Amino acid sequence: MNIQEIIRKSIKRLELEGKLLTPDFYAEAFCKEASKAGFNVDDCSKLEKFRSMLNKDFQEELKKYHIKTISEFAHFLISKLNRTNPSHCSNLLESQTVFTKRVLQVVEVLHNKEAAELARKSLDLLSREASPVEIDQYRQLWVNFITTYDTTFLQKLKLLGDVDTTSLRKTVENLNLENLHLAPSQPFELSKVASLLVASLVPSIASEVNEKIASISQKIKKDPSLLESESVEAEIKSAISLRIALDKQSVKEMIESIDGVLDKLSLRLIEMIESSDSSTVEIQKIKKELESYNGGGITNFTIAHKKLYTIATALEENTQALTKDLKKHSNEVTLLSKRVEQLEQELQRAKEQSKEDFLTKLFNKRALEEYMNIKEAEFTRYGKNYSVVFFDLDFFKSVNDTYGHDAGDAVLFAFAKILKKEARNVDVVGRYGGEEFIAILGETDVEGGVVFANKVRNKVKNARLMYKENRIELTVSCGVSERKTHFSLQNTVKSADEALYKAKQNGRDRVETK
């Protein structure tokens, strides 16, 4: 046998196995035919040479993954390298995330409703792929919480015992209930002032929290008596001035951002005019409002105001001409839009109908064949076994002859519901034609296919199928085959069909395999 004969037989093998003529499939078929013919080809033995260079653990893993080509071998090695060499940054980030989650879980069980709720939301944030903006928002919420958290409510317990602001448990244990008859404690006016002051220092416009402001807020919250200190008074004034400066800077940045956007939009807004009659009137109203607008003495606001007024004036001058032009073509646009919408609906219906059986709403024969080809590709590449189960309703013709074709349609629809209900989400079921149905069971051997077929068969046998007050007795015959014991997809389907015929020959209402 020469090399040309081996090539011819390799192509013939691919045709019999139902495989596409791709480089990987061809190389596999060529090596098999060359081996049968006794030819020693270096390219066919490369994979085995590389395999022998690996340790025994890797060799066993290669067998488990059914590596058959050099390309698959390369993908296997790349995936192993990616898994065994994680970067230091990834490990550090994962450790920090786990640590943060544990801290939040501790905070969640503490005796504070606001902190627990914020901790739960933060845990949810860490459990998904949050954006930097979301993470920064939650960081700000935690800063706001710590700067406004008020423990002065514990001071009301002083008459009942020692108050330990660092331990709620100790405070409760130190309570002396005999002192409950004493007069109520005097209000802590200084504490209330301190609480209001701390709340006023929380940023309003500026999103960033300044460390200096956070520090003075913490000091006042812990010891309200510091408000009587002149040195602290100076710090408070400085913090207030700093907060005002931060807010002004934030406003300035926002206005500059708006100013930049207006520069870009001013070149395009003239072309983007509404086609309604009211567009000119609306723009005239905008112009009048802008004329009466006062920038408040802020330079950036004044610049933005002038640019908006210029845009409104230009829109007013161009609206009338463009509106006439738009009206001229509005009817044509409307008709074209309706036609496009109609075509889209028809296309969607055609797509849905192309894979759905009109009566049972299951997949039709065309869709079933597509899914079987997908399962065949998974088996060829990854060794994933699957089973094919044929179902045929027994004596279905007599149902049509006795009760009419409407009753037959009702029976087919009822069986389809049973079949779909018993199937898993990963299984594919459909109507193959007439009263014949197919189930494609992923990663299922012939024993599993028999179990599934018997479940469906028993459901059908015990079902109360009623049509116009007449109960229709119904049974189903089943044939099962699995892919790994057959040469090709076509042989698997043929074997299942032959097993179904065998079930019919052996008395119906039974499951047979081949």
Q: Which of 313-319's residues contact partners 24+ apart within 8 Å by CB, and which partners?
A: 313/287, 314/269, 314/270, 315/269, 315/270, 315/273, 315/283, 315/286, 316/280, 316/283, 316/284, 316/287, 318/270, 318/273, 319/273, 319/279, 319/280, 319/283
For the CA atoms of the chain, what is the radius of gyration? 39
Contact yes or no for 458/419 (Cβ under 8 A):
no
Beta strand 476-482 pairing with 386-393: antiparallel
- Determine the residue type at 170: K
- What are the beta bridge partners of residue 482? 387
71's tokens: 């390309």
Q: Which of 33, 376, 435, 512 is catalytic?
A: 435
Contact yes or no for 484/472 (Cβ under 8 A):
no
Contact yes or no for 382/393 (Cβ under 8 A):
no
Report the 3 state secondary structure along 105-144: HHHHCCCCHHHHHHHHHHHHHHCCCCCHHHHHHHHHHHHH
Residue with tokens 């279905």: 396
Nearest to 307 by CA among 264, 350, 347: 264
The rounded distance, in Å, linking the Cα atoms of 467 and 301 is: 78
Contact yes or no for 154/163 (Cβ under 8 A):
yes
435 noted as active-site residue: yes
The rounded distance, in Å, linking the Cα atoms of 417 and 422 is: 9
324's tokens: 């006439």
**Which residues carry out catalysis?**
435
